[in-house]
Amino acid sequence: MMGTTFAHYQLLNRIGGGNTGVVYEAYDIKNDRKLALKILQNNFLLTKEKKARFLRELQAARILEHPALARIYEADEFEGAYYLAMEYVEGQEYSDIIQHHPEGIPLDLFYKLMLPVIEGIAFAHEKNLAHRDIKPDNLKLDRKGHPKVLDFGLVKFLDKTDGGHDDSFQTMAGMVIGSAGYMSPEQASGEPLDKRTDIFSLGIVMYELLSGKNPFHASNAFATISKILTATPISLELLRPDLPMELCQIVIKCLNKDMVARYPSSRALYEAIQEAREKATE
């Protein structure tokens, strides 16, 4: 497929892919720019209503203009396939950073990496949009050292018409949609979602950055989901005795299986981390 044209984009290199679609480095012929183009699988959208809603949700992500969020340039349909044209971010994925710090990253680097990300997600939540696929592969430190949240290809508009119910995304070819190791319990079990689903995923990323370990790691996706639904993570204090107690408690609160017991918003999470940081320097 490399070198071919899709809509007004020339596909250059495949740079990623998963259950929901494939991401390409692409050239925007119309606007003369390089970008990331995600071509989404949509065989799980069985009705016209779900297809229309899905496209509205993708297009809604274009309102997200924040320094920590990769820009969404266009969301549309071409020859029956939905696509998302996004800012192309060169840099280091958080998954690579984790790999290079098997015992966890330094505390100052943690604040540098996560506070802008959480603030960006808070901005999206305040626009009533949830990401739903937060994971280290979707977070990057760009060439200028700025954190960026990528890939709003699973974006969900949080309105009151369906209570956040996620029926159009529960399964594709028998699999739960999303990245198994970073799902919330409600996402893994197909229950109604809200912004606190992203808070759980942020909790997993923070835990992994600080300890070098995913708290729900298992041998396969189904075992991982089982742990997300039933297992209690090892206390961060045991893995990193040097960390401030307040920060460890914040991360574990994000990982509560009951969404009501998590932070009510990512803005509240951001403020809690800032407060813990200030307290640790007193």
- Known binding positions: 38
How many helices (DSSP H) and strands (DSSP E) are in the chain? 9, 13
108 labelled catalytic: no
103 is written with which tokens? 């015992």
Residue-level length of the chain? 282
244 is written with which tokens? 């401030």
Q: Where are the alpha helices (DSSP H) in the chain?
A: 48-60, 94-100, 107-126, 185-188, 196-211, 221-230, 236-239, 245-254, 266-280
Helix, strand or coil for residue 242? coil
Where is 98: in which H helix or E strand?
A: helix 94-100
Q: Check 28, 32, 96, 133 and give the catalytic one.
A: 133
Phi, psi (rounded to 5 degrees) for 230: -130, -25
Residue owning tokens 């505390």: 107
276 is written with which tokens? 């813990």
Binding residues for ATP: 38
Positions marked active-site: 133
